[in-house]
């Protein structure tokens, strides 16, 4: 690896590096005069790729700007082009360079898990690492898609969704049994063998073999009818209807494409939408849209290349990936995805047949989604401009932080911060603050706000003192009036942050929404006309901050309510805590138990029993 700084920038600087590199595959980074990474790229031949930037002409406006800002470069050679592609994706994810296409939403996808750790398997939603023993089916595009499928599966196959701990403690059937959503194995309403057959049918359905399941149910219904078991026949009829309803709700269920991700890109007005459909077991398991950040005038091939690499950096690829446009290094990407999945992965751009129809449907969704987003962005731009005009701000704010506190007579106090950006809510940037001030008087809202703002801006000053990132706010909205604004002013002056404007939003006459009053340091109280769109915009932001703070407070209070001394014992997690409480009945009984009794609890080893015994008796 090599690194050099230069006083000048541009193609001449890049040309100077050509003597230092050869034709090996690898990754290059272009840096500006402040050593900020402008761009990360991969090359089959580093010298050939870098030499293309050393020409003074023939570049797109985006590439020309990037070259002009380049003051230095860094290089890392790799053994293969596939390794270079993997390294490129990792660096882009880590460094988020300005001129790279960036996938901004990288959440994991939920699955359906048929747990196999119990004689009567549980069916449930699962997200995250696949550590629990059982069969996993997915991915589904959203929690909503999973929940809809689970609800219908319960109606069809009557599988339990309660936890093992709940299952063990039930003495009578729950409501789900009464409404025909569960077969109540917890109280012996169904045998292990019969329940096992239901599990097998559910898994066959999730594997795409639903036709056989429906045929079997139809035969059973006919037999029950012939034997005059009309109640059983009606129950089977309801299960068949529920299965049909589930299949129709999934929309397109391709016949010749049992497993694929369908990825379609639509670009317009300098923006892009990528629509991803998940086809598994011949069923449509939902879709999700993405809006990657573009670095400039990229081609569809560049955008999809970047999207596919970043999308599958944290997700297992299917056997087939269908694309609306070809990418630059299809074969190399196939090799990389194949290494990730430990099997062959094929990437194709279909031109005809069912696969082309799938792409066409995804493209239509991408086009419509981008049109909606551009319309919303135009409205958002107008609101931000109106906000700036109403409060005499220097420019429309691109990041607004809204703060609120929540507590009950000072107990379980928390502060909440929500963020509004140029494109709407930025939920990944929401923050909660557990109020720690021991000297605060319970219910001291001013003191709480001081603590929250102090912690927030001390961290900002430490992590980004030059304000180069995107986490510095252009405006603060505070839930409160003159007192809150005074408290905020004190802490901001103390920290030396005096160029970030802040506004207090207080309920006005009779505390009615629509009569809000706005407080600013050193200025008279003001109000907006009751039908002003900016007023509704501010109310929406204030209400979101309140909702978030209340939710955080309730979660903290709930956690405190259900806390027990067992939470502090080393080695006792949620599962062992449940086992101990189920055996002894209460945490107090666990604390009084002798060593021999602790050792007989399921899941508690001799060493852990000694740890638990010592914890309570040493404390006593």
What pLDDT is recorded for position 1?
A: 46
Token pair, residue 410, equals 């000072």
Q: What SS3 state is found at 478? A: strand
> Looking at per-residue confidence, does 434 or 252 come out higher?
434
> 600: which DSSP letter?
T
d(CA 505, CA 217): 61
Two tokens at 594?
């002798």
- Distance of alpha carbon 274 from alpha carbon 292, whole angstroms: 8
Contact 18, 67 (CB under 8 A): no
What's phi and psi for 432, nearest 5 deg?
-115, 150
Helix (H) or strand (E) holding 192: helix 192-206
| Strand bridging mode 320-323 / 346-348 | parallel
Q: Return the H-helix or E-strand segment holding 190.
A: none
Helix, strand, coil distribution of the chain in percent, nearest 5? 45, 20, 35
Phi then psi dihedrals of residue 600, to 5 deg: -90, -5
Reported as a pLDDT band with limits 50, 70 and 90, residue 5 is: very low
Give the CATH class of 260-371: alpha beta
Question: Burial of 191 by CB count in 10 Å (0-12 exposed, 13-18 middle, 19+ buried)?
Answer: exposed
Average pLDDT rounded to a whole number, residues 259-271: 93
User: Which residues, 6+ apart, have CB-to-CB distance to 127 below 8 Å?
Assistant: 108, 109, 110, 111
pLDDT at 557: 55
SS3 state of residue 477: strand
At residue 3 the predicted structure's pLDDT band, cuts being 50, 70 and 90, is very low
Task: Identify which has the larger pLDDT, 208 or 544.
Answer: 544
| CA-closest candidate to residue 174, choices 44, 523, 166 | 166
What is d(CA 417, CA 89) in angstroms, rounded to the nearest whole number? 31
* Topology adopted by domain 399-559: Nucleotidyltransferase; domain 5 (3.30.420)
Distance between CA atoms of 1 and 128, rounded to whole angstroms? 36
Residue-level pLDDT at 440: 59
What is the average pLDDT across 357-385?
92
3-state secondary structure of 12: helix
Phi–psi pair at 431, nearest 5 degrees: -140, 145
pLDDT for residue 512 is more than 60:
no
Encoded tokens for 495:
């920290």
Per-residue confidence (pLDDT) for residue 443, from 0 to 100? 59
pLDDT at 413 over 70: yes
Query: What phi, psi does 486 have (nearest 5°)?
Result: -65, -45
List the structure tokens of 557.
């209070």
Q: Distance between CA 239 and CA 224 in Å, rounded?
A: 14
Please give the pLDDT value at position 552: 67
Asked if 27 and 41 count as a contact pair (C-beta separation under 8 A), the reply is yes
Give the sign of the dihedral formed by CA 566, CA 569, CA 573, CA 579: negative
Mean pLDDT for 507-512 is 61
| pLDDT over 90 at 617, yes or no | no
CA separation for the pair 541, 416 (Å, rounded): 12
Matching fold, domains 399-559 and 565-619: no
The structural domains of the chain, with segments of one domain joined by +, span 11-95, 111-249, 260-371, 399-559, 565-619
Looking at 496-592, list the stretches that DSSP marks H as alpha helix, in order from N- to C-terminal side: 533-561, 574-584, 587-592
Quick check: 98 and 92 in contact, CB under 8 A? no
Average the pLDDT over each of 100-104, 232-236, 270-274, 414-418 and give the range with the smallest value.
232-236
* CATH 3.40.50.20 is the classification of domain 11-95: no
- 290 pLDDT band (50/70/90 cuts)? very high
Segment (H or E) for 440: none
Q: What pLDDT is stored for residue 160 in this prediction?
A: 92
Instruction: Record the tokens describing residue 461, joined without a space.
Output: 């000053």
Backbone phi and psi for residue 322, each to the nearest 5 degrees, phi listed first: -100, 130
pLDDT at res. 9: 67
Ranking 105-109, 144-148, 545-549 by mean pLDDT, the lowest is 105-109
Q: In the predicted model, what is the mean pLDDT of residues 22-33?
A: 94
Task: Give, in degrees to the nearest 5, the angle at Cα 441 between 436 and 443.
Answer: 85
Provide the terminal-to-terminal Cα distance of the chain, rounded to the nearest Å: 60
Helix ranges (H only) for 250-352 are: 300-311, 330-341
Q: Are 345 and 243 in contact (CB under 8 A)?
A: no
Averaged pLDDT, 418-423: 92
Nearest Cα neighbor of 42 from 90, 1, 96 is 90
Q: What predicted TM-score, i.e. pTM, was given to this entire model?
A: 0.72
Burial of 38 (0-12, 13-18, 19+ CB in 10 A): buried
**Counting every residue, how long is the chain?**
620
To the nearest 10 degrees (0 to 180), the angle between helices 230-249 and 143-157 is 160
- 3-state per-residue secondary structure call for 36-70: CEEEEEEECCHHHHHHHHCCCCCCCHHHHHHHHHC
Contact 9/70 with Cβ under 8 angstroms? yes
| CATH 1.10.150.20 corresponds to the domain 565-619 | yes
């Amino acid at each position: 690896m090599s690194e050099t700084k230069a006083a000048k920038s541009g193609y001449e600087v890049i040309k100077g590096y050509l003597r230092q590199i050869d034709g090996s595959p690898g990754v290059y980074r272009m840096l500006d005069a402040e050593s900020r990474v402008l761009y990360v790229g991969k090359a089959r031949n580093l010298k050939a790729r870098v030499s293309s930037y050393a020409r003074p002409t023939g570049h797109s406006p985006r590439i020309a700007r990037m070259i002009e800002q380049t003051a230095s470069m860094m290089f890392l050679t790799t053994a293969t082009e596939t390794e270079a592609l993997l390294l490129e994706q990792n660096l882009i994810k880590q460094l988020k360079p300005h001129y790279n296409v960036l996938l901004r939403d990288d959440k994991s996808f939920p699955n359906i898990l048929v747990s196999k750790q119990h004689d009567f398997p549980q069916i449930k939603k699962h997200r995250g690492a696949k550590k629990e023993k059982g069969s996993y089916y997915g991915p589904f595009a959203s929690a909503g898609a999973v929940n809809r499928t689970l609800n219908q599966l319960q109606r069809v196959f009557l599988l339990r969704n309660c936890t093992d701990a709940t299952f063990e403690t039930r003495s009578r059937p729950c409501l789900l049994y009464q409404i025909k959503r569960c077969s109540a194995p917890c109280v012996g309403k169904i045998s292990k063998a019969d329940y096992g057959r239901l599990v097998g049918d559910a898994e066959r359905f999730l594997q795409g073999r639903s036709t056989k399941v429906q045929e079997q149910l139809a035969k059973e219904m006919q037999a029950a009818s012939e034997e005059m078991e009309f109640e059983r026949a009606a129950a089977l009829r309801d299960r068949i209807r529920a299965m049909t309803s589930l299949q129709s709700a999934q929309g397109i269920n391709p016949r010749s494409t049992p497993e694929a991700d369908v990825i379609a890109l639509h670009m317009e007005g300098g923006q892009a939408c990528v629509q991803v459909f998940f086809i598994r077991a011949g069923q449509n398991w939902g879709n999700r849209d993405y809006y990657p950040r573009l670095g400039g005038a990229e081609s569809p091939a560049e955008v999809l290349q970047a999207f596919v690499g970043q999308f599958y950096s944290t997700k297992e690829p299917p056997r087939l990936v269908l694309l609306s446009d070809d990418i630059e290094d299809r074969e190399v990407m196939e090799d990389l995805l194949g290494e990730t999945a430990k099997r062959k992965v094929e990437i194709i751009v279909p031109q005809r047949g069912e696969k082309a129809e799938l792409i066409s449907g995804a493209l239509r969704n991408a086009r419509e989604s981008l049109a909606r987003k551009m319309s919303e962005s135009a409205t958002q731009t107008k609101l931000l401009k109106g906000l700036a005009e109403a409060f005499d701000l220097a420019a429309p704010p691109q990041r607004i932080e809204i703060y609120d506190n929540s507590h009950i007579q000072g107990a379980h106090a928390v502060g909440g911060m929500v963020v509004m950006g140029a494109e709407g809510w930025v939920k990944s940037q929401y923050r909660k603050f557990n109020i720690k001030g021991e000297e605060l008087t319970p219910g001291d809202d001013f003191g709480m706000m001081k603590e929250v703002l102090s912690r927030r801006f001390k961290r900002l000053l430490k992590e980004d003192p030059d304000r180069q990132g995107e986490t510095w706010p252009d405006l603060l909205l505070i839930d409160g009036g003159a007192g809150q604004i005074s408290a905020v002013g004190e802490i901001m002056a103390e920290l030396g942050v005096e160029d970030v404007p802040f506004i207090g939003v207080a309920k006005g006459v009779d505390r009615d929404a629509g009569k809000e009053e706005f407080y600013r340091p050193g200025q008279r109280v003001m109000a907006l006309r009751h039908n002003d769109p900016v007023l509704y915009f501010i109310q929406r932001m204030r209400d979101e901050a309140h909702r978030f703070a209340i939710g955080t407070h309730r979660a903290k209070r709930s956690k405190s309510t259900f806390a027990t001394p067992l939470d502090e014992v080393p080695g006792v997690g949620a599962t062992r805590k449940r086992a101990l409480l189920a055996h002894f009945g209460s945490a107090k009984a666990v604390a009084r138990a002798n060593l021999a009794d602790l050792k007989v609890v399921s899941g508690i080893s001799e060493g852990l029993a000694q740890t638990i015994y010592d914890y309570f008796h040493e404390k006593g």
